[in-house]
Amino acid sequence: MKSKIMASALALTLGASVVLSGSPLSAKAEIGKEKKYIVIFKDQAKLPTDFDSEILKAGGQIEAKLDKLGAVEVVSTNPNFLSQIKKSSTVLDAGIQNIVQPDSAAIEAEALVTNSGPSADLYNSLQWDIKQVTNNGASWNLPGGTGKSVDGNDIVVGVIDTGIDYTHPDLKDNYAYGKSFVPGYPDAMDQNSHGTHVAGSIAAKGRTMGVGPDLKVAAYRVFGPTGGAETSHIAEALMTAADDNVDVVNMSLGGYDWFQNPDYATKDTVADVRLFNRAIQYAIKKGVTVVGSAGNNALDISSPGKLSGDDNGATHRSPSSQSMIRVSAGGQLKNLAFYSNYGVGKIDVIAPGGDLGPNYDPTTGTGRDNTYLCVATVPGGYGYKAGTSMAAPKTAALAGVIIAQHGKDNLSPSQVKHIIQSSSDDIFKRGYDGEAGFGLINAVNALK
């Protein structure tokens, strides 16, 4: 894969994209030019004494502290900042912080009309994906199946994304709260549509339905109108969600870590990756089930060498934590969607993410059928999308209804993950495989 496509050490893009894009940011420091860095300290639970003076001595200025992750975000005009800060005995890693503009959804179509209609009419006519997961709504008749907890507590799914349209009639009653981590944008209102579509797949209750129509969703906005996000902002959002005691976090985002990118020294890439993984582990240790999308580049992400293509080195899908639940995307016919990433040891389960039907030819673009896409809420109405970004939130919602059946804080993330895996339908090779993992998620099986 060409270096201009493997966009950055951590190309944080929304997990709904067919091809990677964006040019890499040069890591070569220029005198007087301000750069952003991440500094990771050896103690991952707190910041060391006098860390601020160490940063200052190396010519840096602290922009944000992630004290519970043992990390700071730093700006500096010193071209030798990295080499100087790494001399500190308290520093584990330090490197460039990167930002890349996200691509559009894997597949999108014109938004549906926004005229009012009867309750669940769009669910009944168009939401094959929600029906597939819930067995035509049968799971809603089981204890906890709608997301209403047996102990009366709200079960909250944190959506780390572009925000949520909290005024949407299908979402407003299930909207818990919102927080923004986007500089200059204090409101968690969605200005993109991606996060609102994700939230609708989880907890819509109106003309459309989510997998858990009585779950609550909380917006942790990390992407602004143009879509870019820094690793530190996503890590802070994940840490905050864990501190807020959410039950599940959905991250329909991701990128690729290229460990011999000529624009970055490998040692300068590790800090960005390590911060992401620390944040995931922090959340999981606090009892949060973390769900992520596999990516939409039709790549075998189990082979780091092959992912790099004709470039040297190894490329890994990020986030890469084995503790989270990573989801590939399937179609209405229970097939692997043509755009979905896959890979032995990298996929836990498959969930409906939508595609363009059995007659679609990705090469020529002919045979497109939009009814095979996923319909859900978007700001001001409803829209069609497809991607692993659409598959992951259905799995996050399933995690939520499983927790609802057992009561808040009674299951560990590993127990939730096991229930999801063991209750999935085997649809491809017998047993585990790299395309569907342990199988297609099934809410009825999970709640029996």
Question: How large is the average pLDDT for residues 141-169?
Answer: 97
Which has the minimum average pLDDT: 108-117, 171-180, 262-271? Answer: 262-271
Residue 18 has pLDDT above 50, yes or no: no
Is residue 356 a contact partner of residue 387, using CB atoms and an 8 Å limit? no
Is residue 326 a contact partner of residue 294, using CB atoms and an 8 Å limit? yes
Question: How large is the average pLDDT for residues 150-174?
Answer: 97
Residue 226 has pLDDT above 50, yes or no: yes
Q: Are strands 107-108 and 381-386 parallel, antiparallel or unpaired?
A: antiparallel
Edge-to-edge strands of the sheet including 91-96?
A: 60-66, 71-76, 35-41, 91-96
pLDDT value, residue 102: 47
pLDDT value, residue 322: 79
For 305-356, how does the pLDDT look when each residue is reduced to its tens digit (9 = 90+)?
Answer: 665 555 555 555 656 677 899 999 999 999 999 999 999 999 999 999 999 9
Is residue 349 a contact partner of residue 289, using CB atoms and an 8 Å limit? no
Question: How large is the average pLDDT for residues 249-259?
Answer: 74
Structure tokens at 184: 């200059």
Question: Distance (Å, rounded) from C-alpha 273 to C-alpha 271?
Answer: 5
Question: Distance (Å, rounded) from C-alpha 19 to C-alpha 24?
Answer: 15
Backbone angles phi, psi at 374, to 5 degrees: -100, 125
Q: Are strands 248-251 and 289-293 parallel, antiparallel or unpaired?
A: parallel
Question: Distance (Å, rounded) from C-alpha 442 to C-alpha 69?
Answer: 35
For 363-373, how does the pLDDT look when each residue is reduced to its tens digit (9 = 90+)?
Answer: 999 999 999 99
Q: How far is CA 276 from CA 239, 254, 320, in A?
A: 10, 10, 9
End-to-end alpha-carbon separation of the chain, Å?
45
For 45-83, how does the pLDDT look when each residue is reduced to its tens digit (9 = 90+)?
Answer: 999 999 999 999 999 999 999 999 999 999 999 999 999
Backbone angles phi, psi at 291, to 5 degrees: -120, 135
Enumerate the β-bridge partners of residue 351. 329
* Confidence category of residue 172, pLDDT binned at 50, 70, 90: very high
Q: How far is CA 269 from CA 89, 273, 309, in A?
A: 19, 7, 19
Question: Dihedral of CA 164/167/170/176: which sign?
Answer: positive
Question: Distance (Å, rounded) from C-alpha 92 to C-alpha 358?
Answer: 50
Place of tokens 């940063």: 55
Place of tokens 């229970």: 334
For 283-303, how does the pLDDT look when each residue is reduced to its tens digit (9 = 90+)?
Answer: 999 999 999 999 898 989 887
Residue 227 has pLDDT above 90, yes or no: no
Enumerate the β-bridge partners of residue 249. 158, 290
pLDDT value, residue 54: 95
Which has the minimum average pLDDT: 236-250, 300-314, 350-364, 427-441? Answer: 300-314
Question: Distance (Å, rounded) from C-alpha 427 to C-alpha 439?
Answer: 6
Is residue 343 a contact partner of residue 303, using CB atoms and an 8 Å limit? yes
pLDDT value, residue 132: 98
The DSSP secondary structure of 282-313, one letter per residue, reads HHHHTT-EEEEE--SS--BTT-HHHHTTTSSS
Residue 239 has pLDDT above 90, yes or no: yes
Is residue 317 a contact partner of residue 294, using CB atoms and an 8 Å limit? yes
Question: How large is the average pLDDT for residues 127-143?
Answer: 98
Question: Distance (Å, rounded) from C-alpha 209 to C-alpha 393?
Answer: 13
Among 354, 446, 415, which residue's Cα sits nearest to residue 145? 446
Is residue 368 a contact partner of residue 107, using CB atoms and an 8 Å limit? no
Q: What is the mean pLDDT of the chain?
A: 87
DSSP state of 23: P
Residue 113 has pLDDT above 80, yes or no: no
Q: Are strands 60-66 and 71-76 parallel, antiparallel or unpaired?
A: antiparallel
pLDDT value, residue 106: 80
* Confidence category of residue 112, pLDDT binned at 50, 70, 90: confident
* Confidence category of residue 107, pLDDT binned at 50, 70, 90: confident
